[in-house]
Structure 1
Amino acid sequence: MSANGKWTIADVPDQSGRVAVVTGANTGLGYHTAAALVQTGAHVVLAVRDTEKGNHALARIAAAQPHADVTLQELDLSSLDSVRAAAAALRRSYPRIDLLINNAGVMWTPRQLTADGFEMQFGTNHLGHFALTGLLLENLLPVRGSRVVTVSSNGHRFRAGIHFDDLQSEHHYDRFAAYGQSKLANLLFTYELQRRLATQQQNTIAVAAHPGAASTELGRNAPTLFKPLFALASPLFFQNAAMGALPTLRAATDPDVEGGQYYGPDGFGEQRGHPKVVSSSAQSHDEDVQRRLWTVSEELTGVTYPV
């Protein structure tokens, strides 16, 4: 760590020989996460919905790092067919996967449905990653030190709950509450996955992270009235995407990380700063809800886990 005890990108250990799959790696947090892993020697797969943007990201990384070991995989988390196709391709290409970083997400979208009829935020942020992780897990389980890192948000605390009676917001849609539900689901998933992993093996752990208030494209779906406020607030309250990626990078690479931990910024309100272990809401630790969400997620995606 730095002289002041802060964890920085310089603390990312050598990742040579490791294979990392990063979803949503063409921009924002995912891009900076992927670039840092490439810089420290990992082979990184940019798993992206838009392959044109993905190729631009790959070219940027390669231009900055001539010996970059980086490839592209098309992945649309809002389509289970796409998730299954991407997972099959990744399983074939990478019998060994060290890091799966579930980073991609959408925020505050107007109500719309995924290809499979799920509410877009819940379907993309939670169900897409639930399916992808389940389909790739057998390639991680034999690998000592492998990790599943899922990116949540402070949004898991606000207007958030798992509405089992209306998971797809068919009866009432509130874009903020739907986002909160999806980010709470990310944590419930992480904690339940860790409990299952810990009872069966010692190689793979599940960890979560959140970026605080990071300046990325995620806010592009903010209501029109909010956009001027975002523009004014960003320089004062938001940190850049490179800083926002640090909690994810620490969760993915720090040798002292333990399964079931949650990393976020160390500043006021966890909005900015360097990564440390943080706490999540009481709701996220409700084991009955964790198990119920897991069962429902298996039913909705058709994906069952080897743990």
Structure 2
Amino acid sequence: MAKHDPARILFTGRNAKSAEATLQRIKSGAPNAVATFVACDVASLSSVSSGANQILTECDRLDVFLANGGIIAKPAELSTDGYEIHFASNHMGHALLAKKLLPLLEKTADLPNSNVRIIYTTSLGWRNGTLDPWKLKTPMEAAILGRWIRYGNSKLDNMFYAREIARRHPKVLSSSLHPGARSSGQIKTRGFYEPVGVFPPEDDAVAKDDKFAKDLWEYTEKELEKWM
């Protein structure tokens, strides 16, 4: 990103030592880039709220929000806020960050020559995901492939949330992707992209979207009210 000469990059994380190493890599690869570390642990909603407030204080525009942090296939655990840890880290933290930053993203979208985007990094694990709202505040322990099921659930959540943002906030181009290796050309809002920049058939996604996406959005909105 730094090599594309942005006005500024803000990146979040929970480890200040790793952040310093990242800043040094940015400096060596793009000496003129302006980068800022924002302390933010996506598994903690209080930390996310503080990080979002810092961004809103420091920035008068925001062109791209990349929801890229998270965990994969961790043991059964609850977050500090009482959610299954993958759901907390991969979905709820990013959802709060997006919710708090959306007014600034939409304000930027109203500016001339803007091209505002929200991009969620998901994975092919979404295909095995489902949404069980009554289990989201449990560790979701399972004897067989439990950690991968929990991960897949959270990746499905990422794809749904990007699609719902696009549906409800049309000023912003919102999509999700499984990391690929090449530019995909024209991006379709509400799209999900697989390597290498391919927009796949959506039958499976649409079937799950119709069943779960609205429920996920409404559950998330209700849970995040106290953090706004």
Distance 2:227 2:173 in 1: 18
Match of 2:37, SS state, is strand
| 1:156 matched to 2:126 | yes
Query: Could you tell me how far 1:64 is from its partner in structure 2?
Result: 1.8
Q: Report the CA distance between 1:276 and its aligned residue.
A: 2.5
Using the alignment, how far apart are the partners of 1:297 and 1:284 within structure 2? 20
State the secondary structure of the residue aligned to 1:286.
helix
Cα distance in 2 for residues equivalent to 1:205 and 1:70:
24
Shift of 1:279: 4.0
**Among residues 109, 112, 116, which one is paired with 1:146 in the alignment?**
116
Deviations for 1:50-75, whole angstroms, at most 9, x for unmatched residues?
A: 11101101101101221122111111
- Indicate whether 1:168 and 2:137 are aligned: yes
Aligned mate of 1:264, from 194, 197, 201: 194
* Mapped partners of 1:291, 1:63: distance in 2: 44
Give 1:96's aligned amino acid.
Answer: R
Whole-Å separation in 1 of the counterparts to 2:52 and 2:198: 31
Higher alpha-carbon deviation: 85-94 or 43-52: 43-52
- Aligned amino acid, residue 79 of structure 1: S
TM-score, length-normalised on structure 2? 0.88
- TM-fit CA distance, 1:191: 1.1
Q: Residue 5 of structure 2 corresponds to which residue in structure 1? A: 41
Aligned match of 1:70: 35
Structure 2 residue 216 is the aligned partner of structure 1 residue 293: yes
- Render the CA deviation track for 1:161-180: whole Å, top value 9, x for unaligned: 10122123446442111101
1:206 corresponds to 2:174: yes
Contact kept in structure 1, 2:140 and 2:150, CA below 8 Å: no
Pairing 1:108–2:108 present: no
Structure 1, unaligned stretches of length 5 or more?
A: 1-36, 213-242, 266-273
RMSD: 2.0
* Match in the other structure for 1:61: 26
Please identify runs of 4+ aligned residues in structure 1 that moved more than 4 A: none
- Partner AA of 2:175 in structure 1: V
Question: What is the SS of the residue equivalent to 1:86?
Answer: helix
Structure-2 residue corresponding to 1:193: 165
- Confirm or deny: 8 A CA contact 1:298 1:304 kept in the other structure: no
CA contact (8 A) 1:134 1:303 kept: no
> How many angstroms does 1:155 deviate by?
0.4
Write the deviation string for residues 123-154 of structure 1: whole angstroms up to 9, x where unpaired.
Answer: 11011111110011111002231111011100
Partners of 2:28 and 2:207 lie apart in 1 by 41
Cross-structure match for 2:112: none
Alpha-carbon displacement from aligned partner over 1:96-118 (angstroms, at most 9, x marks no partner): 00000000010100011211111
| CA distance 1:185–1:107, change in 2 (3 Å) | same
In the TM superposition, what are the counterparts of 1:190-269 in structure 2 within 5 Å? 190-198=162-170, 203-211=171-179, 243=181, 246=182, 250=183, 256-265=186-195
Distance in 2 separating the partners of 1:284 and 1:106: 26
Indicate if the aligned counterparts of 1:38 and 1:68 stay in contact, CA closer than 8 A: yes
Instruction: Supply the distance in 1 between the matched residues of 2:11 and 2:205 (Cα, whole angstroms).
Output: 34
* TM-score under structure 1 length normalisation: 0.66
* SS of 1:143 mapped into structure 2: helix
* 3-state SS of paired residue (1:121): helix
**Are the structure 2 counterparts of residues 71 and 279 from structure 1 closer, same or farther at C-alpha, using a change threshold of 3 Å?**
farther
Consecutive unaligned residues in structure 2, runs of 5 or more: 110-114
Matches within 5 A, 1:109-148: 109-144=74-109, 145-148=115-118
Deviation at 1:90, TM superposition (A): 0.2
Question: Using the alignment, how far apart are the partners of 2:227 and 2:31 within structure 1?
Answer: 40
